[in-house]
Amino acid sequence: MKKFFKVLLISFFCFVIVFSAGAYIFLNSLSAGNDLNTPRETGEDLPEKDEPVNVLILGVDAKDVKNSQGARSDTIMLATFDPKSKKVNVISIPRDTRVVIRGQKGMDKINHAHAYGGPDLAIKAVKDLLEVPIHYYVRVDYKALGKIVDDLGGVEVDVPMNMKYSDPTADPPLKIDLKKGVQVLNGDKAMQFVRFRKGYADQDLGRIKAQQTFMRALADKLLEPQTIIKLPKIAKTFSTYVATDMPVSTITAYALKANGVSMDNIEMLTIPGAPKMVSGVSYYIPDTNKIKTIMTDLFQNTLENTQPVNKVEDLSEFKSDVTIEVLNGSGISGVATDVSNKLKAEGYNIVNVDTIKGIKYSQTHIYDRKNKMAEAKKIAKILDIKDVEKDIYLQAEADITIIVGSDYKK
């Protein structure tokens, strides 16, 4: 039994890194008849046996768990586990990353997506940025981190500089006061360490590097043999501060597949890009071309297994009163106009043609905004586009939104 729990511990670590005791809690909740899972209409084809699974990790900060739904996600990571290779990749996304958030006007910071629409909208924002499917999410309130560190008796970290900062207006108020050097951080000091940002030359990137350093130190502590006796205490923390839509049976199945995973199998990286001030606001501008290359290298199997939409054979029944907006996200001049003209020739009503600035899409997307999926699929057939998604937003200007990517061929 002890060995089995250790397998579960290592397994869930593969998915959420620092929150590895989760499997223990879920199994205990199952036996007690409790349900910790938060249902979600994923819209994704879940991975088949031995296919990679992608999990979005959201770290939120709120005064209490009930406020977590509307809180900004200060930590955003995508973790993937490949059962065949036993490989784990963790991609950090700076919270200030400038993106288009579905249903919102203009561009915004990606960490606002969770505040606008909870895990569902955060998943969509990350999926649009990275262009890979996201199968599950795990949302953790930052309080869990501090409590887990205390449950473990502290974590040893080399603090790279004197860290001193305070913000009484933060929610909750932030007060950081750490000395440089190797030291064992308790829960409160660990929270200060991972939240510190202002002192790094590259701000959010420096903060992410520090978080990754801390996660490795915490992982080492979690994987120590003596941690097994502390799992009941950690379980109580998780039951209070963790939400996920990953079923208990799924966690258990991947736990067995994850046997043999070690720290050597885990790679951490940050999406490429650069900080930039835009209209007086500090953003992180993602390098979409480099992101595409990284995603292709890391998630090739997942990308290859993405299923195309069902074919629509009969276009004759299309209702021409459907309204369409066409947005150029390719960075290539004229493609949105080309798409617009092509659809106008088919009798469609184009209500808006515009350009998305500041971010490039490598793949063309069609979004059903007002329950017009049949029409959206017919348009996909005309344009020879495979990616059609339901993204209901009844206040949208158009029934269907098309974002033209660099893959579109005139």
The fraction of the chain above a pLDDT of 70, given in percent, is: 72
As beta bridge partners, residue 327 has 354, 403
Looking at the structure, tell me whether residues 203 and 106 fall in a common domain: yes
| Average pLDDT of the chain to the nearest whole number | 76
At 262-304, the pLDDT tens digits run 666 677 788 999 989 999 999 999 998 899 888 887 766 444 4
**pLDDT higher than 50, residue 360:** yes
**pLDDT higher than 60, residue 43:** no
In the chain, count H helices and then E strands. Answer: 12, 19
CB count in 10 Å sphere of residue 25: 25
Identity of the residue numbered 141: D
CA distances for 304 relative to 112, 341, 385, angstroms: 30, 31, 16
User: Domain of 37?
Assistant: 2-303
Average pLDDT over residues 139-151: 81
CATH number of the domain at 391, please. Answer: 3.30.70.2390
Tokens found for residue 307: 């299923």
Which is it for strands 181-185 and 155-159: parallel, antiparallel or unpaired? Answer: antiparallel
- Any idea which of 1-15, 98-112, 130-144 has the lowest mean pLDDT? 1-15
Q: Give how many domains the chain has, as a whole number.
A: 2
At 228-265, the pLDDT tens digits run 677 677 767 766 777 778 776 676 666 666 666 666 66
At 83-133, the pLDDT tens digits run 888 788 888 899 899 999 998 888 999 999 998 998 999 999 999 999 888
CATH number of the domain at 142, please. Answer: 3.40.630.190
In a domain, residue 311? The reply is: no
Tokens found for residue 306: 């993405």
Among 303, 336, 367, the domain boundary falls at 303
| Look-up of token digits 């993602």 | 286
Looking at the structure, tell me whether residues 111 and 222 fall in a common domain: yes
Average pLDDT over residues 381-394: 81
Among 255, 274, 303, the domain boundary falls at 303
Which is it for strands 281-286 and 323-328: parallel, antiparallel or unpaired? Answer: unpaired
Torsion of CA 371, 375, 379, 384, to 10 degrees: 90
How many residues make up the chain in this entry? 410
- Name the burial class of residue 273, with classes exposed (0-12), middle (13-18) and buried (19+) by CB atoms within 10 angstroms of its CB: buried
Torsion of CA 112, 117, 119, 123, to 10 degrees: -70
CB count in 10 Å sphere of residue 221: 19
Looking at the structure, tell me whether residues 118 and 255 fall in a common domain: yes
- Name the burial class of residue 404, with classes exposed (0-12), middle (13-18) and buried (19+) by CB atoms within 10 angstroms of its CB: buried
